[in-house]
Amino acid sequence: MKPAPLVLDHVQITRPGRPALPGAVVMANGQITWIGRGEAPASALPPRAVRIDCEGGALMPGFVDAHCHPLALGAALTAADCRPAAARSIPEIQRQLALWAAASPNARHVRGFGYDELLLHERRHPNRHDLDVAVRDRPVVLTHGSGHALVLNTAGLRAAGITESADEPARGFIDREAETGAPSGLLLEMGSHVSRRLGRPTDGEVRRYASAASEALTLLGVTSVVDAGPSNDVSRFELWAELRKDQTFQPRLTVMQAPGSQIPEAEIFRLAAWVDAGPAKIVLIRGENGGLIPTPAELDEMVASALAAGPGVAVHAVEAESILMVCRVFEEARSRLDPRLLLTPAHRRIEHAAEATPEVCAAIKRCGATVVSQPGFIYGRGDRYLAAVDAGGWPVDHLYPLRTLLDQGIPVMFGSDAPYGPVSPLEAIYGAVTRTSASGRPVGRSQAIGTTEALVRSVNNSSPLRAGSPCDLVVLSEDPQSVQPERLRDITVRLTIIAGEIVWGQ
Ligand SMILES: [Zn+2]
């Protein structure tokens, strides 16, 4: 069903780097049909338009989340809340898990999300014995806030077949008890291994996760999302199309593709109204023996074939050494491949580029890549980074170094990496502009950027506020450019509109 034409009266039309204009906007058939100062003239009003008085709210293009994990986000939102704000010690985690288990007697396993060992009172990961105290009769899967570690209880280890004699999967690590050699419960980089063994989520669960993620994103003003999953295949692509079609998931969606199993072009065309195919996603991580996986030669090959299959490639690289390796491979691709395959810098993405000194940034500049950064981490995980610096962690002045990236003229887009970072684009902007952690501590202030600089990297710049543009819009309580940086997080989202339809708000 087509949404009714809409007129938003008394909006402040935001403009990058300039004061907002008091005006109105008219939309019909998913497009802006009139926008301007003052009131819309009678001739611009379509019949049967719904009029909304926005009382001076700030009209902006909707937020784009260029790197998100929507199904994991939905799973996290529906799991026991074990994030530092909700559980500061192992007994508090035990309480959260026990409460969740009691409220979900039919769940196959008990799920918890978000703990951070550095921010727990005990400053260690929980182990299977800790989780057994909370729940003994069903598997418990407790996921670290970064997504890179899991803790299972004894029933969970048994169900996942992780026994004393079990071997590590290729990219994973099983932590063991020093005295007995038995698995301690802590597993690194084994999320997909464990979910395969414990049974993938059912259709009903997937639907619940998608709907929880959609609600969280739209109420924070996000109108477009990129699913940065590294293993999306054609069946996941079709599932997303279905979830978009029946409005279980409302933001527009681009799905990154598993390298080597690119989605057939016929399917991409058939489902184009609902979902877009994104770049191939390659994850570059440190293996057990300290080397990077894939190797430079393998990465070279993967990047070349991803660019040949199109559209583009996105490589997850966090540490300086991995970023430099991606830069070398991208430079090589530039010198060797047909320039037509390279498309634009936005099609050669480095995801995260977290640990980047000015020299690393210079290499990024040379290779012509786009960085997809997560300033939300500065706010959401800044306290963890500061705690890690004392233990030899990366210095925060070169962590997610936005100022250096922008000064060197490197294209930057923002993504939340939710659920591993905060979902809210305004919290990300706050992180970029104030470089302040959730507890209020400075996190590398020399890397702060301006509000306008942060804002233009958080919205869809290809749909500016003008007649003919698609109606993916938000109305905020205030123009972020007009408030003191400390108050950015207090701005609220009053309306979220996708394709001319109000998906959040009145
Ligand atoms: Zn990610």
The greatest distance separating any two alpha carbons of the chain, rounded to the nearest whole angstrom, comes to 81
Helix (H, G, I), strand (E, B), or coil: what is residue 196? Answer: helix
**DSSP secondary structure string for all residues of 421-435:** S-S-HHHHHHHHHH-
What is the 425 CA–ligand 1 centroid distance (Å)? 16
Q: Output the six-digit token pair for 246.
A: 């029946």
Who contacts 119 (Cβ-Cβ below 8 Å, separation ≥6)?
84, 88, 383, 384, 387
Burial 185-211, CB ≥16 within 10 A → b, else e: bbbbbbbebbeeebeebeeebbbbbbb
Q: Output the six-digit token pair for 175.
A: 């932590």
What is the 278 CA–ligand 1 centroid distance (Å)? 14
Per cent of the chain over pLDDT 90 is 84
What is the 421 CA–ligand 1 centroid distance (Å)? 9
Kindly tell me if the per-residue pLDDT of 170 is higher than 80.
Answer: no
Burial 454-480, CB ≥16 within 10 A → b, else e: bbebbbbeebebeeebbbbbbbbebbb
Environment of ion ligand 1 (residues, CB < 5 A) = 228, 417
Kindly tell me if the per-residue pLDDT of 240 is higher than 70.
Answer: yes
- Which of 265, 197, 222, 239 is closest to 71 using CA atoms? 239
User: pLDDT per residue over 269-278, tens digit each?
Assistant: 999 999 999 9
Quickly list H helices, 108-190. 128-134, 154-159
Using CA atoms, how far apart are residues 124 and 81, in angstroms rounded to an integer? 18
| Lookup result for tokens 């598997």 | 139
Pick the CATH number of 70-198 from 3.10.310.70, 3.30.1300.10, 3.90.180.10, 3.30.460.80: 3.10.310.70
Burial 363-383, CB ≥16 within 10 A → b, else e: bbeebbbbbbbbbbbbbbbbb
Backbone angles phi, psi at 67, to 5 degrees: -155, 105
Per cent of the chain over pLDDT 70 is 99
What is the 235 CA–ligand 1 centroid distance (Å)? 20
What is the 254 CA–ligand 1 centroid distance (Å)? 14
At 460, is the pLDDT very low, low, confident or very high (cuts 50, 70, 90)? Answer: confident
What is the 419 CA–ligand 1 centroid distance (Å)? 9
What is the 192 CA–ligand 1 centroid distance (Å)? 14
**DSSP secondary structure string for all residues of 363-391:** HHHHHTPEEEE-THHHHHTHHHHHHHHTT
Helix (H, G, I), strand (E, B), or coil: what is residue 4? Answer: coil
User: pLDDT per residue over 190-217, tens digit each?
Assistant: 998 998 899 888 889 999 999 999 999 9
pLDDT at 34: 96
Kindly tell me if the per-residue pLDDT of 239 is higher than 70.
Answer: yes
pLDDT at 167: 80
Kindly tell me if the per-residue pLDDT of 463 is higher than 80.
Answer: no
What is the 67 CA–ligand 1 centroid distance (Å)? 6
Kindly tell me if the per-residue pLDDT of 288 is higher than 80.
Answer: no
**Angle in degrees, CA 215, 217, 220, rounded to 5:** 105
What is the 486 CA–ligand 1 centroid distance (Å)? 27
Using CA atoms, how far apart are residues 107 and 101, in angstroms rounded to an integer? 8
Strand bridging mode 285-286 / 292-293: antiparallel
User: pLDDT per residue over 395-450, tens digit each?
Assistant: 899 999 999 999 999 999 999 999 999 999 999 999 999 999 999 999 999 999 99
Domain regions of the chain by residue span: 1-61+463-506, 70-198
What is the 40 CA–ligand 1 centroid distance (Å)? 43
Using CA atoms, how far apart are residues 230 and 439, in angstroms rounded to an integer? 32
- Do the beta carbons of residue 144 and residue 135 sit within 8 Å? no
Using CA atoms, how far apart are residues 436 and 168, in angstroms rounded to an integer? 38
CA-to-CA dists, residue 37 to 9, 41, 310, angstroms: 10, 10, 42
What is the 97 CA–ligand 1 centroid distance (Å)? 25
pLDDT at 338: 80
- Do the beta carbons of residue 142 and residue 86 sit within 8 Å? no
pLDDT at 168: 79
- The CATH architecture one would assign to domain 1-61+463-506 is Roll (2.30)
Kindly tell me if the per-residue pLDDT of 1 is higher than 70.
Answer: no
What is the 47 CA–ligand 1 centroid distance (Å)? 45
pLDDT at 506: 61
What is the 36 CA–ligand 1 centroid distance (Å)? 39
Using CA atoms, how far apart are residues 379 and 488, in angstroms rounded to an integer? 12
Mean pLDDT, rounded, of the chain? 94
- The interaxial angle of helices 320-336 and 358-367, nearest 10 deg, is 20
